[in-house]
Structure 1
Amino acid sequence: MKTTLIAVLMLSASFSFGQAKKGKLIWEENFNGKSLNENVWNFELGDGCPNICGWGNNERQIYTKENHKLVDGNLVITAKKDGDKYTSTRITTAGKKEFKYGYMETRAKLPVGQGIWPAFWMLGANIKHVGWPKSGEIDILEYVGRDPQMVYTTLHTQANHGDNASSSKMKFENIEEGFHTFGVDWKKDKMDFYVDAILVYTFNPKDKNEDVWPFDQPFYFILNMAIGGNFGGPEVDDSIFPQEFIIDYVRVYSN
């Protein structure tokens, strides 16, 4: 669903705009088992065809069940180049774990390299009925290897989506090193996005009609690593593979 983002707000990580405030822990996924819990997670497989070939963004990867593993309490999604094909994994909590409001957070280690596009995001649970972008989309984390040190946070709505999405990006000089936290404090009337507890973007439109604010309904999580595409590419450096997107946890707190 995500497309090329042009209108972005450039910020500097040297400024602290506020600290994330978390309430009671509502739900968490710590990836402590030997295999992914399919009572919580769904696999989305293939190349998106026939409905949304290239997953709507001209992405190159084929999603499989084989490009992930659970290791030492981490979910490891591995992007590979297999012959003339790129493979990766994409999982969702659609129909199983859906949330309306709260502080949503992941702790993750990013892959690197031209063509890599990992993401932690959410879609409206009504997407099958109303379609995208009317369902709304919350991109808590997007990173593209062609734009090092930058973290993107974005909201897509019927009123503002694609190239006109409500978006920001912030520079973090060490974002590719070690683990970092990425979260959104989603309230009834606004959203605050955080990276390592630093406020990076606030969305609080005055007019909250359904085309501007579809964020009054349950949403589900998506974790994936795309390759190439309108935003992640189009060029892909084949020498970087394999690359790992490592997720320590996904948590939801009250706010």
Structure 2
Amino acid sequence: MKTPILLTALLILLLSCETKKETEKLIFHQDFNAQKLDTSLWNFDLGNGCPNLCGWGNNERQLYTKENVSVKDGKLVIKATKQDSSYFSGKIHTKSKFEFTYGTIEVKAKLPQGHGLWPAIWMLGHDIDKNTWPACGEIDIMEYVGKEPHTIYTSLHNSSSYGNTINSKKTTKKNIEEGFHVYKTEWSKDAIVFYIDGEKVYTYSPNEKDEKNWPYDKPFYLILNLAIGGNFGGPEVDDNIFPQEFIIDYIKVYSL
């Protein structure tokens, strides 16, 4: 008599999954199959952040250029390079072009390797120009620093905790540098939940939400970058590792 019970349970599970799929809507999909980056959706950050945010606020060493961002063989490639004593890399974001409130963000990516590298998939509140960081809020879907192999950071920054935030989880995955992996975040009015390859690794959901610990009820935009050095990624950089590539296969965002 156990078999019919198991079949019934499986049927209920499948139906619940289908119901969830029907309620979610794909609102952003980048598979990078075009010949170049779609600049109707993406902006470039260029230079070193000076004069307003030199080193982009973290004492990073790289200069961001358009040339270090490319689309090749159906993948987005952000390349870190070194020429003489200068470091170069890429950073793109969707500010003012694609912003959303609540949803599921899924990114399939392959990490670069080497001491001093700091690739990230993250989001910032759309009101950052008026409501400056950290009050605008930050959601770090994936951060990796080459000096800590096999480790992924998932973190939240806001007025209640920022910089070396307590709202963070370090997850060890021995094969994380091998091939592509899927980084997913489910963001709702109740919680922000992080996954790596389908495994839930961290949930952020303050018991009492206020403007300091929960600036997450407004539109955010996506950011992809590969920093070099800095307070978190460095300060030491292994000059023998270059060039290195942060490769993104796809990005999908579903509304709730």
Same fold (TM > 0.5): yes
Q: Secondary structure at the match of 2:66?
A: coil
The answer to whether 1:39 aligns with 2:7 is no
Equivalent residue, structure 2, for 1:115: 116
State whether residues 58 and 229 of structure 1, in contact with CA within 8 Å, keep that contact through their aligned partners in structure 2. yes
Deviations 1:50-91 (A, max 9, x none): 011000000000000000211111001100011110000000
Aligned partners of 1:157 and 1:165 also within 8 Å: no
Give the distance between the partners of 1:218 and 1:165, measured in 2 at CA: 23
Within 2, Cα distance between the matches of 1:115 and 1:146?
Answer: 6
1:27, distance to aligned residue in structure 2 (A): 1.5
Q: Which residue of 1 aligns with 2:7?
A: none
Question: Structure 1 residue 164: deviation in Å?
Answer: 2.9
2:147 equivalent in structure 1: 146
Name the structure 1 match of 2:254: 253
Counterpart position of 1:226:
227
Question: Does residue 1:170 correspond to 2:171, yes or no?
Answer: yes
2:75 is the alignment partner of 1:74: yes
- Residue 253 of structure 1 deviates from its aligned partner by 1.2
Residue in structure 2 matched with residue 53 of structure 1 by the alignment: 54
Residue in 1 that maps onto 2:13: none
Code of the residue aligned with 1:100 in structure 2: it is T
Deviations 1:193-222 (A, max 9, x none): 000010000001011111110000000000
**C-alpha distance in 2 between matches for 1:99 and 1:83:** 41
> Under a length normalisation based on structure 2, what TM-score does the superposition of the two structures give?
0.90
- Alignment-derived partner of residue 7 in structure 1: none
**Amino acid corresponding to residue 159 of structure 1 in structure 2:** S
Percent of residue pairs identical: 57
SS where residue 54 of structure 1 aligns?
Answer: helix
Distance 1:126 1:24 in 2: 25
* More helix, by proportion: 2
Q: Measure, in 2, the Cα distance between the counterparts of 1:246 and 1:131.
A: 30
Residue in structure 1 matched with residue 128 of structure 2 by the alignment? 127
Q: 2:245 is matched with which residue? A: 244
Unaligned ranges ≥5, structure 1: 1-18
Aligned to 2:203: 202
Aligned to 1:181: 182
Aligned residues: CA RMSD? 1.2
1:100 aligns with 2:93: no
Classify the secondary structure of the residue corresponding to 1:162. Answer: coil
1:87 counterpart letter in structure 2: F
Give the TM-score normalised by the residue count of structure 1: 0.90
Number of residue pairs matched by the alignment: 236
Higher relative contact order (CA 8 A, sep 6+): 1
Q: Is the 8 A contact 1:135 1:157 kept in 2?
A: yes
Q: What is the CA distance between 1:146 and its match in structure 2?
A: 0.2
Unmatched 5+ residue regions in structure 2? 1-16
SS class of match (2:176): coil
Residue type at the aligned position of 1:160: S
Bigger shift: 189-198 or 24-33? 24-33
Instruction: Please give the alpha-carbon distance, in whole angstroms, between the structure 2 residues aligned to 1:183 and 1:99.
Output: 16
Q: Distance in 1 between matches of 2:172 and 2:213?
A: 27
Partner of 2:30: 29
The reply to whether residue 136 of structure 1 matches residue 137 of structure 2 is yes
Structure 1 position 241, deviation (Å): 0.3
Deviation of 1:111 after TM superposition, in Å, equals 0.2
Letter in 1 for 2:250: Y
